[in-house]
Amino acid sequence: MRPLALTMGEPAGIGPEATLKVWLDREALNLPPFFVIGNPGHLASLAADMGWNAPITVIEDPSEALQHFTNALPVLPIELGQRPIPGKPTAKNATAVRRAIEIAVDFASDGKAAAVVTNPINKQVLNEAGFGFPGHTEFLAFLSGIETPPVMMLACPALRVVPVTIHVSLREAIETLTTPMIVETARITADALHRDFGIDAPRLAVAGLNPHAGEGGHMGKEDADIVAPAIARLRALGIDANGPLPSDTMFHARAREGYDAAICMYHDQALIPIKTIDFDHGVNVTLGLPFVRTSPDHGTAFDIAGTGAANPASLAEALHMAADMAARRNAT
């Protein structure tokens, strides 16, 4: 059995607090063993400020996490550039945030960690320090050396959604959307649903780009010219893909019974429905990587950082999903 590698994320956000909370509730949540790549002093100080009895154990290797997890939170130490102040991020800690992700990927790639789970980062602070990536998804793809673009899935018990274009403006999403992009995204999604989620014959619902999926060309020709040909190619590959479907009728309860994942054309088309349906339990999953990676589907929440109000439910779901996906992948 291998532990999960959990990155600290933005130290001034709610990630450290959520991490402590899930460890404190580890037995009730039946959590898989994990270790944190973060700063032991920071976590211990935060626990003390909150009045939580959360002993910290410093480890040097992931294998040590299994023997300590029951009685203490295992932390593989990383040095911070400055003492974090809740709600007040600084670029001085950007190097540590980035380094924690790199270490987690190394452990997963070497087989020392079962999967990578990442706490939320703040893109603005990282970019000020020269990060150069739109988000976790793109950085993980870079570290993995994969040739195909990364695929981001958001998943909760009631819905899985995958945006074809991710962290770009709506204008750029429309301008850059192509049939091959849709085909590749859907193909990677179908493969992941089969390999990592245990679905024998995945069913994909493909959203149209325009209102009413273009209304026969009266509301835009992209659905007929770009989306429909992609669906035809997917079916030719043996993938059960249906669409293009009007996105305003795809996400009610009865519609969701007809597919295993929704392929959406742009970021908000995918994220608005899942965050509306289940804001607290959504999980961000990067598909197409050589290792399993999940993350809570929320941000750093600087406005409540350090108050004890952070909801750890999404992080708990991310840990469970990572362990389940890794177990299925290893079984194949």
Residue 176, in any domain of the structure: yes
Check whether residue 34 and residue 1 sit in a common domain. Answer: yes
Check whether residue 143 and residue 263 sit in a common domain. Answer: no
Domain range for 163: 158-277
Count CB-CB contacts under 10 A for residue 302.
16
Check whether residue 8 and residue 143 sit in a common domain. Answer: yes
Q: How many domains does the chain have?
A: 2
Closest among 188, 194, 209 to 331, alpha carbons compared: 194
**Global pTM?**
0.93
Residue 93, in any domain of the structure: yes
Choosing from 277, 301, 324, the residue where a domain stops is 277
Give me the pLDDT at residue 332, please. Answer: 66
| CATH code of residue 189 | 3.40.718.10
Check whether residue 3 and residue 133 sit in a common domain. Answer: yes
For residue 244, say if its preceding peptide bond is cis, omega within 30 degrees of 0: yes
Name residues whose C-beta falls within 8 Å of residue 210's C-beta, 6 or more positions apart in sequence: 219, 220, 222, 223
Count CB-CB contacts under 10 A for residue 237.
12
pLDDT digits (tens, 9 = 90+) for 226-279: 999 999 999 999 999 999 999 999 999 999 999 999 999 999 999 999 999 998
Residue 26, in any domain of the structure: yes
> Where are the strands (E) in the chain, listed by range?
4-7, 34-38, 56-58, 73-77, 116-118, 151-156, 159-163, 203-207, 240-245, 261-264, 283-287, 293-296
**Phi-psi domain of 59 (left: phi exceeds 0; alpha: psi -120 through 50; beta: other):** beta
Check whether residue 17 and residue 141 sit in a common domain. Answer: yes
Tell me the HSE value of 134 on the side-chain side, using a 13 A CA sphere.
12
Name residues whose C-beta falls within 8 Å of residue 79's C-beta, 6 or more positions apart in sequence: 39, 96
Check whether residue 96 and residue 134 sit in a common domain. Answer: yes
Check whether residue 14 and residue 139 sit in a common domain. Answer: yes
Check whether residue 5 and residue 110 sit in a common domain. Answer: yes
Residue 282, in any domain of the structure: no
Check whether residue 1 and residue 89 sit in a common domain. Answer: yes
Residue 152, in any domain of the structure: no
Check whether residue 104 and residue 189 sit in a common domain. Answer: no
Residue 286, in any domain of the structure: no
3-state DSSP: the chain helix, strand, coil percent, rounded to 5?
45, 15, 40
Sites in the chain below the pLDDT cut of 50: none
Beta-ladder partners of 264? 163
Check whether residue 225 and residue 244 sit in a common domain. Answer: yes
Give me the pLDDT at residue 146, please. Answer: 86
φ and ψ of 296, to 5 deg: -60, 145
Give me the pLDDT at residue 165, please. Answer: 95
